[in-house]
């Protein structure tokens, strides 16, 4: 029998978990491991929990919100990252510095995608990559979509 009792985690404990998870995700990224996306998802989970228990105006709260968006985006979940960003940006107490950092997260991602797809970037067609990724994600992890017979 497994115990599913929820337990409270302090801000300090979450900070520690975030640091460990980030290091693990970075190592997996450096190794180009397929497990890197899941590791970044773990980072995002801890960052969201930290954001939930801290005020947006606190340094830790603002950093956690930016970290949650960055980790979610790095994990390959653009739509969720955009949703999170809109929630966090709607908080009036979020400092301008953190708002700018969140915008930089998305710009850095666009720059990274442009490096991987230079021809599409030059022709202004990077939006097609985002649309393809969203379509692939909607296909329940299928690399090649299955068309239903009409």
Instruction: Read off the pLDDT of residues 43-96 as tens digits, 9 standing for 90 and up.
Output: 999 999 999 999 999 999 999 999 999 999 999 898 899 999 999 999 999 999
The total number of structural domains that make up the chain: 2
Return d(Cα 15, Cα 22) in angstroms, integer.
11
- Check which CATH number belongs to the domain holding 34 and give it: 1.25.40
For the stretch 137-147, pLDDT in tens is: 666 555 555 55
Question: Is there a single domain that holds both residue 75 and residue 50?
Answer: yes
72 domain residue, yes or no: yes
Question: Is there a single domain that holds both residue 110 and residue 129?
Answer: no
- Residue with the bigger pLDDT between 148 and 54: it is 54
26 domain residue, yes or no: yes
4 domain residue, yes or no: no
87 close to 51: Cβ distance less than 8 angstroms: no
- Structural domain that includes position 40: 11-116
What is the pLDDT of the chain when averaged over all its residues? 87
100 domain residue, yes or no: yes
Question: Is there a single domain that holds both residue 17 and residue 59?
Answer: yes
Return d(Cα 145, Cα 123) in angstroms, integer.
26
**Percentage of residues of the chain with pLDDT beyond 90:** 64
Segment 98-115 mean pLDDT: 93
Residue 11 has pLDDT above 60, yes or no: yes
pTM of the model: 0.81
3 domain residue, yes or no: no
C-alpha distance across the termini of the chain, in Å: 47
């Amino acid at each position: 029998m497994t115990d599913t009792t929820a337990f409270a985690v302090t801000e300090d404990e979450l900070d520690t978990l975030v640091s460990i998870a980030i290091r693990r995700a970075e190592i997996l990224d450096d190794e180009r491991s397929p497990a890197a996306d899941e590791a970044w998802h773990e980072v995002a989970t801890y960052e969201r929990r930290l954001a939930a228990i801290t005020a947006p105006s606190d340094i830790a709260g603002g950093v956690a919100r930016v970290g949650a968006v960055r980790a979610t985006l790095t994990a390959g979940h653009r739509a969720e990252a955009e949703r999170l960003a809109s929630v966090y940006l709607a908080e009036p107490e979020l400092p301008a510095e953190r708002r700018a950092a969140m915008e930089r997260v998305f710009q850095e991602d666009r720059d990274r995608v442009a490096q991987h797809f230079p021809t599409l970037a030059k022709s202004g067609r990077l939006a097609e990559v985002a649309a393809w990724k969203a379509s692939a994600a909607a296909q329940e992890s299928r690399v090649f979509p299955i068309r239903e017979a009409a």
